[in-house]
Amino acid sequence: MDDTESDYRELVLELCRKLGIGEPRDWQCWERDAPSPELLPAFKTILSTITHEREERRIIAELLLGSLDIALTEGHSIDAYWPMTKDFLESEPEEFASIVQYWACSDDELEDRFLVSKYVIPLIC
């Protein structure tokens, strides 16, 4: 494992501790496996104390959008969480551009998009 991968894993482990979730079982796609609506309240605390490194902010964005999408899929409202998410993503538009583009699915057919896509599409720069 090189230094970059080691640093990334350390960031992930620290974030898992902050969110109160276990260590990833599968490091290859843990950002797709870890999101959960139950994490949304913890993001309010994490985002209110932003002093995170660039890579950690990107991980937070992925987990947050994934958690919001799952919440919508399960029929929950994300009204309490979308404003903070939007503010977070708009705080560094260049940094989050590829993540926003992924979740927006703007080139996909409407039925192939994530449920959170309708919220994310307006953020495309």
> 49-101 pLDDT, tens per residue?
766 678 888 888 999 999 999 999 999 999 999 999 999 999 989 999 999 99
Please check whether residue 83 lies inside any domain of the structure: yes
Please check whether residue 113 lies inside any domain of the structure: yes
Q: Are 39 and 47 in contact (CB under 8 A)?
A: no
CA distances from 119 to 18, 37, 41, 75 (A): 26, 16, 19, 15
Please check whether residue 77 lies inside any domain of the structure: yes
pLDDT score of 109: 67
pLDDT score of 18: 82
Please check whether residue 13 lies inside any domain of the structure: no
Two tokens at 103?
Answer: 């979740």
Q: Are 34 and 63 in contact (CB under 8 A)?
A: yes
The more confidently predicted of residues 38 and 34 is 38
Q: What is the pTM of this model?
A: 0.83
Structural domain span for residue 71: 35-123
pLDDT at 110 over 80: no
Please check whether residue 17 lies inside any domain of the structure: no
What integer is the mean pLDDT of 33-39?
84
How many structural domains does the chain have? Answer: 1
Please check whether residue 6 lies inside any domain of the structure: no
Residues 4-25 have pLDDT tens digits of 777 878 888 888 888 888 777 7
**Within the chain, where are the H helices?**
3-19, 30-33, 40-48, 54-73, 82-91, 93-104, 117-120
Tell me the Cα Rg of the chain.
14
